[in-house]
A and B are shown apart, each in its own frame.
Chain A
Amino acid sequence: MSGSVNRPAFAPASVADDLSARGFGRATRRILFDKWIGRLLPLLFIVVVFPILDMIWWIAQNALPTMTWSTLTTPLYGDVGGLYGAILGTTYLAGLALAICGVLGIFGGMYTAEYASPRTATFARLFGNILAGTPAIVIGYTGYFLLVLYTGWGTSIAAGAITLSVFMLPWVFRTTDLAFLSVPPTLREASLGLGATHRQYLFRVGFPVAFPRILTGIFIALAIGVGETAPLIFTAGWQLAPATSLTQGTSYLTGLIWTYFDEPANLGHLLALSFQAAFILFVIVIGLNVVVQIIGARYRRRLKGLFA
């Protein structure tokens, strides 16, 4: 091994240098353990998703065979008829509630993100989140006393919608807040640096950029409003005939299930209606959530474009 050319050699290797995963030893055990964790953990998805799929299957099974177009267009009368009144009632309740909590929530969220002092903002977020975690039945009780009894309105769409809006508000509030927070600071500084007033920034730049995300908040709130039962049980009343005024009580999809789910078997039609209502609810809510996810994904892509 002499001469003008040096022979290259790799640094002497010890057994510990054996890079292959075969053989014995701790490293092998660790790597194998990791591999098996990686294989077994995804099985948890089956544990969680299987019951849900089972639920969807059974609800569809019980709802679809007897569902026709007239189910959606005829009101319920006694134990015959369809879901028209309930669909109408849900539309009124959720629509009105969304109008209320939309206005309050968007202004509140915008203020929190853009104007409030850090201290105020922290507290506003905390209270928003606490309200989101308040049991719906407690809100329902409050609505019953405050709006049904003390105002003298009686059970009515108005009382139900306002109560419902309290439950929906935190979601609009929170997403609006997050939406304005996620506007790239560079964009904000750029427009303010160009001499725009804060108001001009907010409406010309901030709001358009944040809008898709605010929309997701609205849709989430809508999904919650459509699917919630507890705030309405004692406030929205129950009237089978399609509602014609906000002072009347109404039937609504969740209330229909709530009312008829344990009907004796001889009223099978009502049980079928309950399942149909559940199916419709399910479709609406999942549909809204899918829309939310799509908007969210597109929004993120757009933001990425803004940054690049």
Chain B
Amino acid sequence: MEVRGPEHLLELPGGTVPSPSDLQVVRSVMSGLPPRARGMVSYPSSSEPRSGSVGVTSPAPSSPSTGAPHPKASQPAGSPGQGGDRADWKCPNCSAVLPKIGADGYVTCSFCHAVFTTGQPTVAPASALSEMMAGELALSIQGLSVLAGSKALVQDINLNVASNKVTAIIGPSGCGKTTLLRALNRMTELSGLKVRGQVLYGGRNIYGAGIDAVRVRRRIGMVFQRPTVFPSSIFENVAFGLRIDHEPEDVVERTVITSLKRAGIWDEVKDELDRPALTLSGGQQQRLCIARALAVSPKVLLMDEPTSSLDPIATQKVEDMIFELKQHYTVVIVTHNMQQAARVADLTAFLFQGKLVEFGLTKQIFESPREKLTENYITGRFG
């Protein structure tokens, strides 16, 4: 058994300069085949910690020479080398040392996914939760705050997003769900909001130095509350992301078809791909937007109340589709509709006044919430 310090999270995958054969892989990513079938290059976990090299502030001091040692062995909580009052948190479940980012509050252990409150080190071991989180992580949100001027819209969020699962974010209106979601692919900077903390994707902070938002958004796609089709044909809408990459025509065609199929709208539009997209119904437009987001082969799909402007039948279709999407993508969905969260999500996070109150299995959140706030919200006592 080997548990490593959090600097493991900061590891860079392999070499950074792609070789020609790697570019080949990029090409095949675009070909519209399921990502699993494409033999994606997976990098061996490097034993070389690259702390501080990618603009990510390494939270715990790491020993540069050897592989990251057991946190218990070399990194006792509150290591003196750090200076000042800065101490690290220690997970009560697995004893991993966690970077102390932000203020006290609810913390999710990056290693065993136990949720604990700092200062009260006795919180449920959450074995079913760790089971669910056992696979790979798509995103790791660490100490994330979003500020408008000096006002924090979202505060100190620590949350892991499991790969190939649907994670729902629920909470009362105005609690910052949209803001949090937009922070996950750097859309926040478009509305002039400041972001503190980290969002790790593939081990790298998407807000780190030298990381361009354009690349982030290619990997972490977004679907908005209201459908936003471009005033062009159905085909060209889906092809948008491929056209700006100057993909060859046959690749574009194949990818568009695969994306439309995955978005579950293929059967409805296959005979009229040249039709203006604006003539589609609202539900179709929304699925077209999802297809358009899928066409650039993202790993993570962020959805902000994707069904709130749709009728029940269209909603049903989108929900079915989200269920299918899990095979290939990681989905983070914001919803006001608790039934919807219960239906589609594997994991649920409850947000209240910009803070993460509780995170757990959807079933657990809805049936036996640990927090009073969550219970009040679920049972409809406010919000």
Contact = CB atoms under 8 A, between A and B. Distances in A.
Do the two chains touch directly in the complex (Cβ atoms below 8 Å apart)? yes
Interface of A: 1-27, 30-31, 34
20 contacts: A1-B2, A2-B1, A8-B111, A10-B140, A10-B203, A14-B26, A15-B22, A16-B218, A16-B219, A17-B201, A19-B204, A19-B208, A19-B219, A20-B16, A22-B16, A23-B16, A23-B17, A24-B23, A25-B26, A31-B212
Given A19-B211, A20-B16, A30-B214, A6 B26 contact: no
A13 B203 contact: yes
A11 B138 contact: yes
A9 B26 CA distance: 22
B13 A13 contact: yes
Contact of B41 (A6, A10, A14, A34): A14
Given A12-B43, A13-B43, A13-B203, A7 B25 contact: no
Interface residues of B, number: 55
A3 B208 CA distance: 33
A8 B211 CA distance: 23
B111 A5 contact: yes
A14 B112 contact: no
Contact of B201 (A14, A19, A21): A19
Interface string B100-131: 00000000001111000000000000000010
B41 A19 contact: no
Contacts of A1: 1-2
B124 to A, nearest CB: 15
B40 A5 contact: no
Interface string B195-218: 000001111101010111011101
B13 to A, nearest CB: 5
Contact of B212 (A6, A7, A12, A19): A19
Contacts of B160: 8
B110 to A, nearest CB: 6
Nearest to B29: A16
Given A11-B299, A15-B25, A19-B206, A25 B18 contact: yes
B94 interface: yes
Given A20-B16, A20-B54, A25-B26, A12 B219 contact: no
Contacts of B33: none
Interface in B59-108: 94
Contacts of A21: 210-212, 215
Among B41, B45, B200, B212, chain A packs the most CB atoms within 10 A around the CB of: B212
A17 B12 CA distance: 11
Contacts of A15: 18, 22-23, 25-26, 41
Contacts of A19: 201-202, 204, 206, 208, 211-212, 215-216, 219
